[in-house]
Amino acid sequence: MSSLDLAQGSTTTRAELAEAYGGSQYGGGIVPANQSHNIFVFSDPAAGKEHDYTFDGRADDDEFGVLYLYTGAGQGTGDQQMTDRNRALLNHVQAGRDVHLFVADGTLGFSATTIQRYIGQVVVDPVQPYEERWTQVDGEPGRRLYVFRLRPAPGVTLALTAKDTMQAAPTTEALPVPPAAAEPASASATPVATEQHGTDATTADVTGGLRTVFRREGRLTAAFEALLVSHGHVVHRFQIPVAGERGALLTDLYDATDNVLYEAKGKASRDHVRMAIGQLLDYRRHIDVPDGLRLAVLLPEEPSADLRDLLNVEGIALVTQTAEGGFVGFPLPAAGA
């Protein structure tokens, strides 16, 4: 695997990178450099704002550590597509390409040439490679964007500074958006082998189990969404930026026909059910829907009797998938029944 002859935190230009490692110096924030087996990712939150999105930057750390969000390619009109350069980034592990993150850091002298500050080598998160986000136009959803979740490559400490932190949302306003698109096939689901990075730990060691849960949750949500649509129900989600916080909340399915907000989980364990309850209560405070909103948890199997009792006490409905692929608990009983 190749590496860059650059110190993290140092600066360069796209022209210098292209001369040394290949790839184009013009246009696009995702640049495959085939001759050196690299992909260069150029993040510029200021430029993103001009195109009606501000999703780039370091998000809050989670249990897996540092997380940098990067909006994919496709700045024109219409939804972004998981093709071409976006797919190259998504599948970089299978292709044997190292990914290197740069952040715009001013211009060179009085020219229009952007200075690129080298943050370090990253990998696309194998647990959740990307998030779908939507621009907002006059309170309505505009374009669908793919926001990649980038992690430090094993053994790498990214040279991030305070100014690389994603800006907090100024207001809280829930935006109804279409359901998530079908998940593209991704080689990032393949565990990263230890020898590929020469470290004592692998990404797969940390996240392999959660990858299974995430895929299972996605399939469960898609199957239930198909059921709702087959019954003529109107289904969407909510994207909720929260004032003073970075990033945005994204609900699972909202059934506008029956006024039910569903939260899906890939397992029926206590931790997952408790998390679903907390998420539903959190989302409910922020969404503007007709009175009588009902909450429901969607699970791939029946939980324990005690967890069923917990949901009942909290007034939260339960829908579970059967071994045959059907669903028990839908349709929900009429409100007040």
Task: Give tens-digit pLDDT for 277-319.
Answer: 999 999 999 999 999 999 999 999 999 999 999 999 999 999 9
Which DSSP letter does residue 192 get?
P
Per this entry, what is the length of the chain? 337
| CATH architecture of the region 11-167 | Roll (2.30)
**What is d(CA 106, CA 192) in angstroms, rounded to the nearest whole number?**
35
Could you identify the residue written with the tokens 């998160």? 125
| 3 state SS of 196 | helix
Inform me whether the pLDDT recorded for 104 exceeds 90. yes
Is the preceding peptide bond at 154 cis, omega within 30 degrees of 0? no
pLDDT given at position 188: 43
CATH of domain 168-337: 3.40.1350.10
Instruction: Tell me: pLDDT of 161 over 90.
Output: yes
Residue 193's pLDDT band (boundaries 50, 70, 90)? very low
State the pTM of this model: 0.83
Numbers of helices and strands, H then E, in the chain: 8, 17
Between these two residues, 43 and 76, which has the higher pLDDT value?
43
* pLDDT tens, residue by residue, 1-54: 346 788 999 999 999 999 999 998 887 899 999 889 999 999 998 876 665 667
Structure confidence at residue 211 as a pLDDT band (50, 70, 90) = low
What is the pLDDT, as a whole number, of residue 208?
53
- pLDDT at position 48 is 66
CA distances to 184, 283, 295, 326 from 278, rounded to whole Å, are 29, 9, 11, 26
According to DSSP, the residues that pair with 243 across neighbouring strands are 169
Domain-by-domain residue ranges, the chain? 11-167, 168-337
Residue 185, burial from CB neighbour count under 10 angstroms (0-12, 13-18, 19+) = exposed
Backbone angles phi, psi at 38, to 5 degrees: -115, 160
Confidence band (pLDDT; 50, 70, 90) for 209? low
